[in-house]
Chain A
Amino acid sequence: MTDTTKHHTPLHDIGDLDPEGLPSSRSLVKATLLAIVIAAVVLVLAVLPAEYGIDPTGLGRKMGLGALHEAEVASQTVTAETVARADTALQSKTLTLPLMPGQGLEIKAVMKTGQSFVFDWSAEGGPVHVDMHGNAADAAEDDFTSYWIEDALTGGRGTFRAPFDGHHGWYWKNNGNQMVTIKLQVSGFYDEIYMP
């Protein structure tokens, strides 16, 4: 423990080490530019292909780095497909809807992208025209996406996953000349079910 000089003269920067003092402004600018260039090369050749699958030179794929990103995407996709998280409670609704001859009626659920439910409906008294469809919350009146259209069905069941934020449901029309009763059961995740 004879070396006491360092204790008395704390170092602040590289100028304290170098007998000739701080490096010149010119060499500092050169060093900084060099650092930026090396960093850019490392980013483009290695980091971006491996982390994001961005590979403008194609070298990332050749070096096998692209596989890192593909593996990560695959693992994320599996997780996302296995679980769709919901921030609403599980809901369940059973509706009985009478339809006079010639009458049409709509039932819709307010849903966010990825929310889903299982449904089962049946028409007692005869077949009905059905259009299962959805529209974005702020869409124009006739701007909607149809998922399932049939002219004469006495029932339908399945699962539905909202492809976009908005209102998703059914339009039924009784084209016969007898009264029909629609019985609808919906269980799953949605904000509310309403009759427009």
Chain B
Amino acid sequence: MRFSFSRVAGPIMLPMLLSLFAAGALAHGVAEGDAQFMQQSSGTQLLPFIYLGAKHMATGYDHLLFLVGVIFFLYRMKDVGLYVSLFAVGHSVTLLYGVLSGTHVNPYLVDAIIGLSVVYKALDNLGAFKVWFGVQPDTRAAVLVFGLFHGFGLATKLQDFALPEEGLVANIIAFNVGVEIGQILALGAILIAMDAWRRSHAFARQAFGANVLLMVAGFVLVGYQLTGYLIES
């Protein structure tokens, strides 16, 4: 029997979904008030950092785009959970490494790569790699790599805030737990919408155009970030 996510979680998820989008999607930066909190916080503050991680994940339009691509052909919550965890592992590794080692990567370049990953996923959904190169790249590996890049991007932004040393590692891990939770919420919400769409007969017809649109959005992100990089440097 097929697990009906929408039947179970719909009443809970739908208001959450609406409030997420109403909150206004930022790119995956950190809101000003939240940044202030992070700088003034002292010691280990697990719950606030979990909340910030979840918020960060659920309100960034660039990962939401990527996640729409990822979930396009995923049905089972089990698969969704696997992808979420792979992303979180990648994200945690580079975020911890970046902040602790003080590695600074240009955020425009990281965000341009994130835009490229949206293009990648759209092409993957269209079966382009199979047609062009005869191989189907492992989507799980792609999601892990995307997580690695994304962690670097956020590490660079967090370093600008002079985070207090005390409890830093615990707070970053808490942040990553929040990233996991935020992703499950966001993916669950997207899954409901996808589910409804996939049930319609038009889906097969619209899937091609939808992935081309996803590619357009990805290319726009790439161009936007690369222009920013050229202007600022």
A-B CB pair tally, cutoff 8 Å: 105
Classify the secondary structure of B's interface with A: helix
Contact A36 B73 (CB under 8 A): no
Known: A1-B1, A31-B208, A47-B224. A13 touches B125 (CB 8 A): yes
B5 at the interface (CB under 8 A from A): no
Contact B131 A28 (CB under 8 A): yes
Give bound CA distance, A17 to B131, whole Å.
16
Identity of the chain B residue whose Cβ is nearest the Cβ of A30 in the assembled complex: B212
Contact A32 B220 (CB under 8 A): no
Question: How far in angstroms is the closest Cβ of chain A from B119?
Answer: 8
Give bound CA distance, A39 to B213, whole Å.
9
Question: How far in angstroms is the closest Cβ of chain B from A38?
Answer: 5
Report the stretch among A2-10, A92-100, A144-152, A180-188 that lies at the interface: A2-10
Give bound CA distance, A22 to B136, whole Å.
12
B127 at the interface (CB under 8 A from A): yes
Known: A14-B211, A17-B204, A25-B131. A51 touches B224 (CB 8 A): yes
Question: How far in angstroms is the closest Cβ of chain A from B106?
Answer: 16
Known: A17-B203, A23-B208, A31-B212. A36 touches B219 (CB 8 A): yes
Q: Which residues of A contact B216 (CB under 8 A)?
A: 35, 38-39, 42
Contact A23 B126 (CB under 8 A): yes
Count of chain A residues with a beta carbon within 8 Å of a chain B beta carbon: 34
Q: Which residues of A contact B219 (CB under 8 A)?
A: 35-36, 38-40
Give bound CA distance, A82 to B212, whole Å.
46
Give bound CA distance, A14 to B209, whole Å.
11
Give bound CA distance, A28 to B119, whole Å.
13
Q: List residues of B whose CB falls within 8 A of some A CB.
A: 1-2, 4, 73, 75-76, 79, 119, 122-128, 130-132, 136, 203-204, 207-208, 211-213, 215-220, 222-224, 227-228, 231
- A-B pairs with beta carbons under 8 Å apart, 30 shown: A1-B1, A3-B2, A4-B1, A7-B1, A7-B2, A7-B75, A10-B75, A13-B124, A13-B126, A14-B127, A14-B207, A14-B211, A15-B127, A17-B207, A22-B130, A23-B131, A23-B208, A24-B131, A28-B126, A28-B128, A28-B131, A28-B132, A32-B123, A32-B215, A39-B220, A39-B223, A42-B220, A43-B227, A47-B220, A52-B227
